[in-house]
Homo-oligomer: A and B are copies of this chain.
Amino acid sequence: MKKVEAIIREEKLEPVRAALEGIGVYGMTVAEVSGRGREKGIPLQWRSGEYRVEFLPKVKIEVVVLDEDLSRTLNAIVTKARTGERGDGKVFVIPVEHAVRVRTGDRDDNAV
């Protein structure tokens, strides 16, 4: 099993969710995060003048998938989250050693 951690634009959550549903990936966990990278922050209006916020709102999607679903999942996310502008985000793949479904106690591949 792998955990796919995708940090994407907030407004791309919906298309990504739909695309994952399309390939049979339902379960996922989402958090609101802030990120910085090559994108150079965003200028916001102050009362007069403006200031720059370094950390921009992003969402982080975490999906644990079976090894055989990994590349499809990556694909779906990368395709749907892309705008081509700086700040589109990153996807990381992290090994998962065990999984448990709390409701049933099912383990590992059965738990995802």
Q: Which residues of A contact B (CB under 8 A)?
A: 1-3, 6-8, 17, 26-38, 54-55, 58, 60, 64, 74, 77-78, 81-103, 105, 111-112
Contact = CB atoms under 8 A, between A and B. Distances in A.
A94 B96 contact: yes
Contacts of A35: 27-30
A95 B35 CA distance: 20
B55 A30 contact: yes
A96 B28 CA distance: 19
7 contacts: A17-B54, A26-B37, A27-B38, A29-B34, A78-B105, A84-B103, A86-B103
A7 to B, nearest CB: 5
B97 A111 contact: no
Given A29-B60, A30-B33, A54-B17, A100 B95 contact: no
